[in-house]
Copies of this chain bind each other. A is one copy, B any other.
Amino acid sequence: MTEDDERMVLLRFVERFALVLREAGMPPMPARVLAFALADDADRYTAGDLARGLDVSPAAISGAVRMLVSLRLLGREREPGTRSDLYVLDDRDLWSRFMATELETLQRFEEAAASGVEVLGTHRPGGRRLAETRDFLAFLRAEMAAAVARWPAERDRRAAAREG
């Protein structure tokens, strides 16, 4: 397989994975950058690396990395004596952090339901439905947070099992 073929395979995967991220609410370019940083072999990229790797304009990268850094999905570093930031995908707890933002969404749901219960009261069917919604969301959020917290240990346990 030639160099170009491999690149094509990678970029096809990037688009496929980015599509799922987009369906989950992430804008296209941040989704591509994240997928690329995840699947390509380097562990540090300059903005230029990303632009060339994805074959898009540097301007598009600029906005995308800003969002990803603000979501803590990418880290920004600077090697002394160089003039470019380096973007690092800290893969160790990447998905735990990704889920942290999902959990915030869930919390906003919960708060919205709770505020509805307040203004509508629980003595009416609508209010009662909202109260149950709120309770379910609170339950689910606690369960998900617990599961996410459990993962690192679970992963290590599995790795150990494979070794032994």
CB of A23 to closest CB in B, whole Å: 6
Listed by A's residue number, 6 A-B pairs whose Cβ atoms lie within 8 Å are: A9-B120, A17-B116, A24-B105, A38-B130, A39-B129, A143-B147
Per-residue B-contact encoding for A21-40, CB less than 8 Å = 1, 0 else: 10111000000000000111
Tell me what chain A mostly uses at the interface: helix, strand, loop, or mixed: helix
Complex CA distance for A94 and B148, rounded to whole angstroms: 24
A91-118 interface with B by 8 A CB criterion:
91, 94-95, 99, 105, 108-109, 112-113, 115-116
- Given A91-B132, A124-B41, residue A147 in contact with residue B140 (CB < 8 A): yes
Contacts of A113 in B (CB 8 A): 17
- Given A99-B140, A129-B91, A143-B144, residue A116 in contact with residue B25 (CB < 8 A): no
B25 touches A108 (CB 8 A): no
Contacts of A136 in B (CB 8 A): 95, 151, 155
Copies, count: 2
Q: Does A137 contact B (CB under 8 A)?
A: yes
Q: Does A52 contact B (CB under 8 A)?
A: no
A95 touches B125 (CB 8 A): no
Q: Does A16 contact B (CB under 8 A)?
A: yes
Complex CA distance for A40 and B43, rounded to whole angstroms: 52
Q: Does A119 contact B (CB under 8 A)?
A: yes
